[in-house]
Amino acid sequence: MKKFREYYEKTPFKFLSEKTIRVMKLTLLLSILTISQLWATETYSQMTKLTIKLEDVKISNALREIENQSEFFFLYSPKLIDVEKRVNIDAQNQSIKDILTDIFGKEVTFAVSDRQIILTPNDQSEVLSAYQQKRQITGTVTDKNGTPQIGVNVVVTGSTLGTTTDINGKYSIDVPQGSNSLTFSFIGMVPQEISIGTLSQINVTLAESAIGLEEVVVVGYGTQKKTSVTAAVSPLQGKEIASTPITNLSNSFGGRVSGVIVTQTSGDPGRDASNIYIRGISSTGSTQPLMIVDGIPRDFTKLDPNTIESLTVLKDAAAVAPYGVAGANGVILVTTKVGKTGAPSLTYNGYIGFQNPTVLPKFVNGYQYATLKNAAAQNEGVPLPYSDYALRKLKDGSDPDAFPDPNVWDLITRNAVLTTHNVELSGGTEAVKYFGSLGYQYQEALWPSTSNKKYNLAINIEAQATKTTKLSLNVNGRVEKAAYPSILPGRIWELLQYVNTKRGPLYFSNGLPGDKIPASIFGSGYDDVNTMALYSKFSIEQELPFIPGFKIKGTIAYDPTIVMDKLWRVPTHIYSIIDTSKHPYQYKDAIFDQTRSSLNQTFNQYNQLTYQASMYYANSFGKNDITVLALVEAKNNNNLSLAASRRNYNLDVDEINMGSSSQADMSTSGTSNASRQVGYLYRVTYNYSNKYLLETSGRYDGSYYFAPGSRFGFFPAFSFGWRISEEDFFKKIGWISNLKIRGSYGEVGALAGSPFQYLSTYDVYGPAYVLGGQAVQAINSRNENNPNITWERARKRDIGLEVTFLKRFSMEVDYFYEKRSNMLVIPDVIVPIEYGIGLSQVNAGIMKNQGFDLSFSYNYSISKDFEVSLGANFTHARNTLLKVFETPTTYDNPNRRITDRPLGTQFGFHALGFFQPTDFGADGTLNQGIAIQPWGVVKPGDLRYEDMNGDGKINNDDLTVIGNPETPQFIYGISPNIRYKGFSMDLLFQGAAKTDRYLDRHMVWPFYNAMNAYVDNFNYWTPENPDARYPRITSAPTVNNSQTSSWWMYNVSYLRLKSVTLAYTIPSRITEKIKIHDVRIYVSGQNVITWTDLINYDPEGSSAYGNLYPQQKVISVGLNVKF
Amino acid sequence: MKTMNNAIINFKCKVALLFLMSLISCEKSLDVSPKDQVTDNTLLASTGNADLFLNGIYASLPDVYNMQESEDAWTDNAMCGYVYYVSRALINKSVYTSANAPTYWTQYVNIRKCNLFIAKVESSTLPDTWKKLRLAEARFLRAYFYQLLWIHYGGVPIITEVLDKNSQGDSIFRERNTDGETFKFITDECAAIATDLPVKPAETGRATKGAALTLKGWCELFEASLLKNPENDKTKWVLAASTYKSVMDLATYSLFPDLETMFFEGNNNNVEVIFSKAYLGGTSLGGSKEGLWGTRIVGGAQVGYGAMNPSQELVDEYVMANGLPISDPASGYNPQNPYVNREKRFYQSIIYDGSFWLGYEIVIKQGLGSRNATDLSNASGGGTNTGYGLRKGLDPKYAINGYSRLNSAGFIIFRYAEVLLGYAEAQNEASGPDASVYDALNKVRARSGLPPLEAGLNQDQMRVIIRRERRVELSFEEKRWNDLIRWKIAEINLNSTIHAMYIEKINNIWVYKIIPATDGSRIFYANKNYLLPLPQGAMDKNSKLTQNPNY
């Protein structure tokens, strides 16, 4: 009996590694059991005769050769059978028994059962007979709360014999005589080994495992156990974001995931996506990451957050290499939920939120405007525009029509509603699992003409069609109805800044509009954008039981999207008083912009068809685990657009057919385009004893962008991991439960620029000109072609450390270094302007990007009812342009050189401050020695710039670095969470640093382009206020003071309470009475508080002159019910 | 049963294999071609196709009617209504540098297109008659583009072939040709192609013999003027006069009866037009001059940017209806009622206090709450800075704020009145005010209802009249800057202050007062501003270029 035990303990017949998903493991186990039932039959083996001639080969190779030539396969333990021994075989038409006897002599006994042959050492042959004597053990597996655990692996310890628990947590297993114990294991649980003894029933309570260790993470084209991952991968669970009032999933990363730098520049409903930079910016070309939904390249940003199982950010070469050319900027994998085995589970999640801008500029009121204007006029020595009478009227507000005090913020909606509802059904059996979800989101905006309605439907069905065949069908649809006014929010935001007392009131006291902004917001027509997007996917996965651990899979995904845009513009009316000396005032109506209505309709269709075929093999040989993945992917995109428009509507009926029938008032346009990509990828992982991990992956990728011959590139990556904590010498250090060092190196491609730059072709466009009174088409040469254009290459290095100690703290830190070469840059400096044509991009730029990212988590259960946790992450990324095309003018000036500086470094004059009266002589001329500034006569209170080269005059040679790139170099998040009984509080603080933004025009300068001024502008220079924020006040910004200079550069670092959720789960003893499983109510906030030095604007904006729909602060109340 | 299973598995394997194979053969599917582009072969497949390339060159003529400020805002004719526009911020104060000056250097893009067209067509097998005509058109356009460069920069690199960095290496970097070489190239080209071009084009808008000769005459007039002819070599004037005379002798052009509607879309390519840039309203090719240059607030709504504010200096140049200048005591001009009994062109060209526009009376008086009142606060984008608005050439139908691109009216580059005035000037300088000079001038004046000039004027008196006539007749047609430059009077006229009309109520009477316009002071450096600086970008990329003096 002892020998028998040793046999099974030492020789696990592991056919699949733990990385493989559980279902597959089970199926294979079942097939092996099936094989054992066929033990007695010997038909095939008796009939088959083989001819083999091999010299000096390992026995293992000989056996493989036999497997190849026949349908036999061998079961043996390499520990017990010396298969390394070299033998000669010369068999002519011999039976298998004869051949094996030749090979092994008397050392080994072999039992042949049809096609299966079990080899055992001669001295242990009794195990074979023992093997066939079994007894049954049954039981139930539960968690600490007594909930039955479904799908727990129950295995005879050290063997491949096993089963899983059913829907009620029950199992039943036949164990061979002499079996010692059973091992119970499940993802996320601590495995348990229970001694069998004489028991026939074993009930087990599994405990949850220490954080993270058994976690499975999604990686490119598969999943891996967190412990065996050798790449830099950051997961984000869908449940973390499902309750936060965000409208676009791209806004869910900030501060939650290490290695991700995000900026959200707009809060416009439906157009509020963030820019995502994984590990910062590494190229002058495209920098946005690849987005994958359920394995298919697709945009995830508008999916229903409730349907998201997880979001995973792939960061280093090892992680992104399988995406080849599309992976250089990192990859975001989104996995949608699938059904879980069990009784149908119905949940509802919904909230209603109220939105307000995070910040609104503080404009001057009418009286302040007038005093500021008068101060400017006084400065300039021109007559004062506002008399004492006018000032008095503006102050007392007694004549709001002639002396108005318009406040634009009166026009905007406060507490605009944002509401989301989602119903989800999930359940299934081992055979069929289903998941269905229906979501609805409605978002109001700062004005009633903008709103967004979104319907999301998701259906996922997985079926185990046969024991070895799995089918899955995956449909995710979205209907989005976005309504906007006929003008873009940027323009509205610009118009808002024009409003001032001089232009008149928003509305006269009789209700007539006095400014174009009310009409622009409320009555300019509409722009309705209706989107129908469907993601559909069908895949079939087939296991091949005769090759253990091998399966093939085919997937086809068809994703059509249709966008309809209907833009209806109507004339807008504005009233004014022509002559304020005549009472009562007479109001005149006038039309602003077009005098008749017009309609533009656009139809865009985007179709994507993706095919994938893959082979996957996973097996264990002793302590060696191997997995191999090979996959082919092809992606075809076909897009078309069609548009029609008419103008000069006689009747205001918003249909194309109702428009003017004059030919000149009609127009049509349309085009189509296609894109193609084909890739072949592999990944091989090797794992020895769960200590030493090796992985290589790569992709041979082709794209239609380039000329034949330059289309395909090969992008390999290698990575390793060493789990030091698994080493015997380390196991003594009990307080560190996990310590892993990993590293990766690889090359990835990047598809920057635009397609067809290799072609020497001409653009055709029209209408291009008018000849003979008729519109004519034209042909124009495109940029000079570059037949050799090909991929950008990114070489990525990463070294990471993962550590868990005291079972509560875990930390992951990565240093990364990327060098982007072959970077596509426009070599325009190599030809003179007289060359007369632009050049295509060439693969010539070089850029590096390096930094670190770190994530940290801490969990502590003070008692069963009281838990605290803290998560934190930091990311730093800094790039440097190593080689770009640069003219000698900037390259030779160390202050102005672009090369060797971060991309987006901001240049300008260095402002020394203001000229003070002491800088001028008695005659008003500048003192000797002060550099001459070329933008007109300067006066005290004007900005003075530094003469960097000391030549006594300020010109472009004096430009220098005045600011960091706008994209933050440093971003971080800190998330403390507390749970006490049914209460929980989750906070997320998020911040960014090392980011500067240049503010100009109406964002800072008073009266720019006849626009308004800010209250802050009162802090202008006077002899009494020499250290003012703003230069001497002028009626419009002077050329001198509006030069790009450090004076207007703002550090836009910030820290904000990005999200907060307070929740209470009603105890189930109460809810059970009304037959409800779980009820959770919560209050949630987004962008709740922001700390920053910037005034009037949100620090996350961009430099688009502030003409952006502002970021929103949302406070919501939600309900979560599980029936 | 087992065999059955195996068969199924086998079948599945085969399906999987087929699937894989089908993907592997996908490499060919990467052969996608763009659907909005054509190749060389298509380009030269027919005259019709090749015509499309020339269309694109015509389309590259400067788009004056979509510029927020035309060159007239650089001059003493007007000032821009916006403080930060290039004319007011840089040109008027002469603070521009090679880094920020307006650039014409981009004409080399158009020049390359011409060179490419010429090279491709010359070597093609397309019909010779077609080739001859189209090559002449392309050469005309190229000469026109070089003219823009020559006037603003002096001598520039003359490039007549398609530069190719791969085959030509460093020889793509060219030095500047001399001023004289550039002038000679332009006028030689015009002379050479004039015979190939038709007098009447098959399609309006195409280059004609008249256009080529007018371009030649204009360059010769420029070359004969003081700036380029300090010794006053009379033969240069003779040459200009004779070229203009040859245009007159074509007997194809005459003056359009009404100067106001001549610029409207209904009168595109009328009898007076020699060459124009075409527009097509309602498309991206439409013009927006009304929305950009037109009076800002009319009837309460903003219908224009008000970017062009005519100066008091220009207004004073309009004579009285009796033909006498306002400075003449006999003219009957009343400074306290300045807008009565002026010549017709004043009313056609200028919006002033009390005039009507779009059916509304324009109020530019102070203190009435009118947003068109003179803007003394220098607030960019307020009312007018000068007390005047632009009317000339603006079609009330299209008075819509901003870039409406609704107007189909062409921008007239050359018209017959300019030929007559150019002839009169050249002839007066070459041989004094002979009858042909009187005749040419009187034709132009008669169209606007002015009496014929009195006889017996001497050359200097005639020069004064010609220059005033030219300024008034061709105002806001992008001619004034070039005239100020070539007459070398910019250093006088642009070293002064632009004036405005300020109408305020004193003792219950509206008083007309001429004041310096706010921000109306001008600076012009005679030692450099007669030429623009070469753009710094061009200097940076081509070390063989030399900068114009004192930049």
Taking residues B427-450, what's their average pLDDT?
A: 97
- How sure is the predictor about B247, in pLDDT bands with cuts at 50, 70 and 90? very high
Is B30's CB within 8 Å of A769's CB? no
Nearest CA-CA partner of A526 in A597, A626, A470 = A597
pLDDT of residue A217: 87
Q: Is B367 on the interface with A (CB under 8 A)?
A: yes
User: Which stretch of A29-33, A113-117, A582-586 has the lowest confidence by average pLDDT?
Assistant: A29-33
At A44 the pLDDT is 67
* Structure-model confidence comparison of residues A578 and A796, the more confident one: A796
Task: Tell me what the mean pLDDT of segment B167-191 comes to.
Answer: 97
Q: Helix B47-58 to helix B107-122 angle, to the nearest 10 degrees?
A: 160
Q: What is the pLDDT of residue A21?
A: 38
| Identity of the residue numbered A353 | G
CATH T-level topology, domain B253-487+489-529: 1.25.40
Could you tell me the pLDDT band of residue A94, with boundaries at 50, 70 and 90?
confident
Nearest CB to A554 within list B16, B49, B541: B16
Give residue A209's pLDDT. 59
Q: Is A852 helix (H, G, I), strand (E, B) or coil?
A: strand
Is residue A975 within 8 Å of A1059, Cβ to Cβ? no
Range ranked top by mean pLDDT from A514-528, A745-759, A1042-1056: A1042-1056
CA distance B4 to A181: 38
Which residues of chain B does A831 touch, with a Cβ-Cβ cutoff of 8 Å? Answer: 163, 165, 172, 541
CB-CB: which of A382, A546, A834 is closest to B108? A834
Q: How far apart are CA A739 and CA A262, in angstroms?
A: 30
Q: What is the mean pLDDT of residues B342-358?
A: 96
pLDDT band at A437 (very low <50, low <70, confident <90, very high): very high
What is the domain partition of chain B in residue ranges? Answer: 1-31, 253-487+489-529
d(CA A395, CA A366): 8
* pLDDT class of A130 with cuts at 50, 70, 90: very low
> Using an 8 Å Cβ cutoff, are A262 and A274 in contact?
yes
Q: Say yes or no: A385 contacts chain B, CB-CB below 8 A.
A: yes
- Does residue B20 carry a pLDDT above 50? yes
Specify the higher pLDDT residue, A164 or B512. Answer: B512
Question: Which amino acid, B356?
Answer: F
How far from each other are the two terminal CA atoms of chain B, in whole angstroms? 95
Q: Calculate mean pLDDT across residues A342-353.
A: 92
Interface test with B, best of A834, A957, A1011, A1039 (most B CBs within 10 A): A834
Is the Cβ of B496 closer than 8 Å to some Cβ of chain A? no
- Closest by CA position to B218, among listed B299, B130, B312, B150: B150
pLDDT given at position B23: 52
Q: What are B135-171's pLDDT values in tens digits?
A: 999 999 999 999 999 999 999 999 999 999 999 999 9
Summarize pLDDT for A584-626 with one digit per residue, the tens. Answer: 888 888 887 778 899 999 999 999 999 999 999 999 888 899 9
The phi, psi pair for A840, rounded to 5°, reads -70, 165
- Identify the residue with better confidence: B533 or A47: B533
Note the pLDDT of residue B409.
97
pTM of the model: 0.82
pLDDT band at B380, cuts 50/70/90?
low
Q: Name residue, tokens 């398609």.
A: B162
pLDDT over 90, % of chain B: 79
Look at residue A120 in the predicted model and tell me its pLDDT. 74
Query: Which pLDDT band, with edges at 50, 70 and 90, does A20 fall under?
Result: very low
Mean pLDDT of the residues in chain A: 87
pLDDT of B358 over the 70 cut:
yes
The most confident of the ranges A40-54, A783-797, B172-186 is B172-186
The predicted pLDDT at position A64 comes to 79
How far is it, in rounded angstroms, from Cα A594 to Cα A573?
10
Which pair of structure tokens corresponds to residue B70? 């035309």
Confidence of residue A1068 (pLDDT cuts 50, 70, 90): confident
pLDDT digit string, tens, across residues A471-523? 999 999 999 999 999 998 888 999 999 999 988 899 999 999 988 899 889 98
Q: Give pLDDT, residue A16.
A: 33
Omega into A584 within 30° of 0, i.e. cis? Answer: yes
Residue type, B399: A
Tell me the residues of chain B between 296 and 335 that have a Cβ less than 8 Å away from chain A. Answer: 297-303
Average pLDDT of chain B? 92
- Residues of chain A with Cβ-Cβ distance to B373 below 8 Å are none
Whole-angstrom Cα distance, residue A127 to residue A414? 79
CB A52 within 8 A of CB A124: no
Which amino acid type is present at position A127?
V
Q: Which residue of A has its CA nearest to B279?
A: A770
For residue B282, the model assigns a pLDDT of 85
pLDDT tops 80 at residue B351 = yes
Model pLDDT, residue B299:
78
The residue with greater pLDDT, B411 or A176, is: B411
- Determine the 3-state secondary structure of A37 from DSSP: helix
Average pLDDT of A192-216?
Answer: 73
Mutation pick from B54, B541, B542 vs chain A, by most beta carbons of A within 10 Å, is B541
The helix/strand/coil state of A646 is strand
How confident is the model at residue A194, as a pLDDT? 83
What are the tens digits of pLDDT across the range A977-991? 999 988 999 999 999
Angular region, A487: left φ>0, alpha ψ -120 to 50, beta rest: beta
pLDDT band at A211 (very low <50, low <70, confident <90, very high): very low
- Report B:156-215 residues touching A (Cβ under 8 A): 157, 159, 163, 165, 172-174, 202-206
Residue B236 vs residue B303, higher pLDDT: B236
Amino acid found at A842: V
Q: How far is CA B278 from CA A239, A282, A345, B204, B308, in A?
A: 62, 46, 70, 9, 22
Lowest mean pLDDT among A52-56, A360-364, A692-696: A52-56
pLDDT band at residue A1073, thresholds of 50, 70 and 90? confident
Residue A405 has pLDDT above 70, yes or no: yes
ipTM: 0.91
Alpha-carbon distance of A110 to A1117, in angstroms, equals 70
Asked whether residue A976 carries a pLDDT value surpassing 70, the answer given is yes
Per-residue pLDDT, B9: 53
A 680-709 residues with CB < 8 A to B: 680, 702-704, 708
Phi, psi of B188 (to 5 degrees): -65, -45
Q: What is the pLDDT of residues A669-725, one digit of tens each?
A: 999 999 999 999 999 999 998 899 999 999 999 999 999 888 999 999 999 999 999
Q: Is the peptide bond before A716 cis (omega within 30 degrees of 0)?
A: no
Closest CA to B216 of B235, B196, B193: B193
In which element (H, E) is residue A911 found? strand A911-914
Query: What are the tokens at A395?
Result: 């102050």
Q: Is the pLDDT of residue A32 over 60?
A: no
Which residues from chain B sit within 8 angstroms of residue A703, using beta carbons? 30
Q: Which of A231-245, A697-711, A922-936, B260-274 has the highest mean pLDDT?
A: B260-274
Identify which of B108, B269, B363 has the shortest CB distance to residue A833: B108
Instruction: Please give the residue of chain B at the shortest CA–CA distance from A636.
Output: B29
Nearest CA-CA distance, residue A261 and chain B, Å? 34
Q: Which residues of A fall within a CB distance of 8 Å from B89?
A: 1039
Under the banding of pLDDT at 50, 70 and 90, the label for residue A13 is very low
pLDDT band at B516 (very low <50, low <70, confident <90, very high): very high
Band of residue A1059 on the pLDDT scale cut at 50, 70, 90: very high
Range of weakest confidence among A154-158, A334-338, A636-640, B296-300? A154-158
| Residue B405 pLDDT grade (very low, low, confident, very high; cuts 50, 70, 90) | very high
How much is the average pLDDT of B444-463? 96
Tens of pLDDT, residue by residue over B464-493, are 999 999 999 999 999 999 999 999 999 999
Angle at A796 between CA A791 and CA A797, to 5 degrees: 165
Res B401: pLDDT:
87
Q: Are A779 and B278 a contacting pair at CB < 8 A?
A: no
Alpha-helical (H) ranges within B173-311 are 179-194, 209-224, 234-249, 289-293
Token couple for A630 = 């090979």
At residue A739, the pLDDT reads 93
Residue A6 has pLDDT above 50, yes or no: no
The yes-or-no verdict on residue A10 having pLDDT over 70 is no
pLDDT at B410: 97
Please state the φ and ψ torsions of residue A97, each to the nearest 5 degrees: -60, -45
User: Which of A126-140, A272-286, A746-760 is least confident?
Assistant: A126-140
Q: Is A831 on the interface with B (CB under 8 A)?
A: yes
| Three-state DSSP string of A715-757 | EEEEEEEEEHHHCHHHHCCCCEEEEEEEEEEEEEEECCCCCCC
Average pLDDT over residues A1024-1043: 93
Greatest mean pLDDT range, A1068-1082, B36-50, B162-176? B162-176
Residue type, B503: I
